[in-house]
Each structure stands twice: as structure tokens, then as C-alpha cells.
Amino acid sequence: MGSTITEKIMARHCGRDMVKPGELINAEIDVVMCHDVTTTPAIDMLAEKGLQKVAHPERVVIMPDHFVPNKDIKSAEMVAKIRRWAKEQGIEKFYELGRHGVCHALLPEQGHVQPGTTIVCGDSHTCTHGALGAFATGIGSTDLAATLATGELWFKVPETILFRLNGKLQKGVCSKDVILAIITRIGVDGALYKAMEFTGELIDDLSVEARMTICNMAIEAGGKSGIINPDQKTIDYVKARTAEPFEVFVSDADAEYAAVIEMDVTDLEPVVAFPHLPSNGRPVSQVGDIAIDQAYLGSCTNGRIEDLRIAAQIMRGHQVAPETRMIVVPATSDIWKQANHEGLLDIFMEAGATVSAPTCGACLGGHMGILAAGERCISSTNRNFVGRMGSPKAEVYLAGPGTVAASAVEGKIADPRKYL
């Protein structure tokens, strides 16, 4: 019996030829990503234990992103603490404001993600990086402290669910609609502690950025990780960003899976996830007449250049509806500059939207787009839990970038296909 890509990566990183689901292992970690929210507790834990030095400072990548630009004194002090700590530890990979970005967009963009590696961060959407054939998962601050101190972390080897996605997407339907449809089908605990492996004709057709969107939301189905076998698109993407050597692993044809789920996307419509779960997905044709107060385009899920291009194509020549506001947040400084170079930011602003500096911001209810009680927002983010983007009496609807843009124009949840 063969092994999955996840099992192969984990075996290599614990010094074994093979591992099986359910086994407990101690794995070497190649990249430890740190942002402003969960890193400060880890720093405090290290200090409390008298652990003065990080095991491998060259493997640590830091980017303040959740509350930047700093929204208040507390967030400013939090980032200042991380800056001092990074300097003390000799950590050189620190992405300061102005060349920063939302961590899960910045890490692959800057060449810190390679196939076959292990990546952890104190953030649940670390599973994004499995799109490049890495084992990447979110951890808590305690495990983050342990990883920083030792360079290793324990895991239970997860079972894998294989999602075989075939067919071709209609115009106006995107990878965000695919993952919302999957989560709607299996539920928010349908892949609990499983590696979600995505394959098939659709995956072959998708860009690397679109694949990141799918892996990003594996956690919303309870997944331990999301992962895609590397192909030439993956290798080209990585080699364009780093000269670091890497090893490619792929699943064996006879690998054993906990389940295999087949899905044909040919007839898939744009999907909207209703409050208050990502699994409350409905085809846009069944949404009905739902007015919105805010449209939010950005985040580690859909703040990349491809997403901005999709939205700008719809908004060109249109205006944001009079009683609606639209916020556009390019996910990294480089994406912001590229969008500016292509004239996308002009399109958004001429339409009446506002454009922000890169930040997680309103996605987690941080700042720069918080919702008041009774307001509705359609968002390209990944979660719509009660209170996620502000007041617990607000409502968040999740959708792809095209649906967000079309809804901003109409002032109600709208089908993007009519604009394409």
C-alpha cells in the first residue's frame, strides 16, 4: 500500500521511511511564520521558561498583519514587542509596514513556501500553503513557543480525504465557489483533523492563486490541512520566487484514503454562504433579495491580484450603490503596487470604493471596516461566525470576488455572471 503526499512529507520530517494515520510523531519544522496576534503570548511563554534563544532564527518569518497599520496603543505595543524580540533573536525575515502583507498571501509571494516542506503558524488559515505541496497547519501559541524553542513539533498523522474535482467552471464561477460548495456538502466538521487533498481536472486547470483559495478554507471544514500535489505550475511559481532547493512529493496511485469524494463543477453556480456558518451555502440564483450595507474584498482568501482583477472587470464603468459602501484591501504591498500599476485601484475608486493598505483588518473584526448592529456585509473572507466582523447583531455573507463586486454595484447580493 502506498502513501499520500501528507504521509510522505511527515515521514521525511521525522526521519522515517513511512508513517501511518494515527501515529504520533515529532516532525522537524522548516518554516515558522509569526504574526502580531499569537506571537506575543509565545514570546512570553519562552521568557517564563527561561528559554533565551530561538532554535533556528533563519527559519522564522515575521509579518505583523492583523492590526496594521496599528489601530490603537495596545496593538502598537504588541508589534513593538515583536520588533524588539526579532532583533534580539537575530531574525532577519521581518516584513515591516510598507513591504508587509496578510501572512498567508505574503509567505508564498516572497518565496518562503516550497513543496515538500513543513510550515506552522499561530493562525488557523496556515493550511493555505498546502496549495504548493507543503504540509502546512495552524497551531496555538503554546505549540508556537515549543516550535520556536526546539525547531520541532509533535503531530498525530492525519487521515486524508481525497476530493476529486472534475469538469470546468462556468464564466463567473471561481475557486471560492468550489470550496464553499464543498464545505456546504460535508459540513464544518466534515473533515475533522483530516488532510484534505484536492485533485482532478479542475485543479489541473486552476492557477496557483486559485488553488490557494481552496486550501485556505480547509480549516472551515475542520481539516488539519489542505494540500495539492505539485505540478509544473507549482514548480514554476516557486522557482520564480526562490532559488532554495526543494523536494517534490506526490501521492501514490495506491495510497489509502479515509474517503474519496467526487464532485463535478460543470453546473456549479456562484455560491453565497449565509450567516453564521461557511457551510450555509446557497447557489446565487436561490439567494433572493438581500440588501447589503458593505461589500468587502480582500483577506488571505481572496485578496490576491487575480481576485482584484475579477472584481475590477465587473466594476469598470459602474458605481457602488448609493446606500452601500465597498472596501478593497489588497493582501500584500506587492499586490497593491501591481493593482495600482494595472489601473485596478483607479477602477475601484472611480466606482466609489475605498482602497486600504494591506491588513487582515475587518476580516477578524479588527479594524478598517467593522460592522454595526443590524448591518449586512458580503465578504470575500473565510468566516461568517457571529461577531466575526464586528457587532454580533451584524450578518456576514461569504462569496467570491465577482459576487462581492456585483453586489456592491447593485446594493444587494447579486450574480456576477450578468456582468461578464
Query: 502580531: which residue's cell?
Result: 36
Handedness of CA 367, 373, 378, 384 (dihedral sign): positive
DSSP-assigned beta bridge partners for residue 155: 25
In words, the CATH class of domain 271-419 is: alpha beta
The three cell numbers locating residue 292: 447589503
Please name every residue paired with 376 in a beta bridge, in sequence order, or none if there are none: 395
CA gap 25, 22 in Å, rounded: 9
How would you list the strands of the sheet with 271-273, edge to edge? 281-283, 271-273, 395-398, 376-379, 294-298, 325-329, 354-355
Give the Cα separation of 226 and 218 in Å (integer).
5
pLDDT digits (tens, 9 = 90+) for 253-265: 999 999 999 999 9
* pLDDT computed for residue 189 by the predictor: 94
CATH of 5-263, one of 1.10.10.10, 3.30.499.10, 3.30.230.10, 3.40.50.1220: 3.30.499.10
CA atoms of 270 and 283, how far apart (whole Å):
6
pLDDT in tens, the chain (420 residues): 899 999 999 999 999 999 999 999 999 999 999 998 999 999 999 999 999 899 999 999 999 989 999 989 999 999 999 999 999 999 999 999 999 999 999 999 999 999 999 999 999 999 999 999 999 999 999 999 999 999 999 999 999 999 999 999 999 999 999 999 999 999 999 999 999 999 999 999 999 999 999 999 999 999 999 999 999 999 999 999 999 999 999 999 999 999 999 999 999 999 999 999 999 999 999 999 999 999 999 999 999 999 999 999 999 999 999 999 999 999 999 999 999 999 999 999 999 999 999 999 888 888 889 999 999 999 999 999 999 999 999 999 999 999 999 999 999 999 999 998
The DSSP call for residue 206 is S
What is the structure's pLDDT at 57?
A: 96
Q: Do domains 5-263 and 271-419 have the same CATH topology?
A: yes
User: What pLDDT is recorded for position 365?
Assistant: 86
DSSP H stretches of helix in 219-355: 232-239, 299-302, 305-315, 333-341, 344-350
DSSP 3-state assignment of 242? coil
Q: Locate the domains of the chain by residue range.
A: 5-263, 271-419
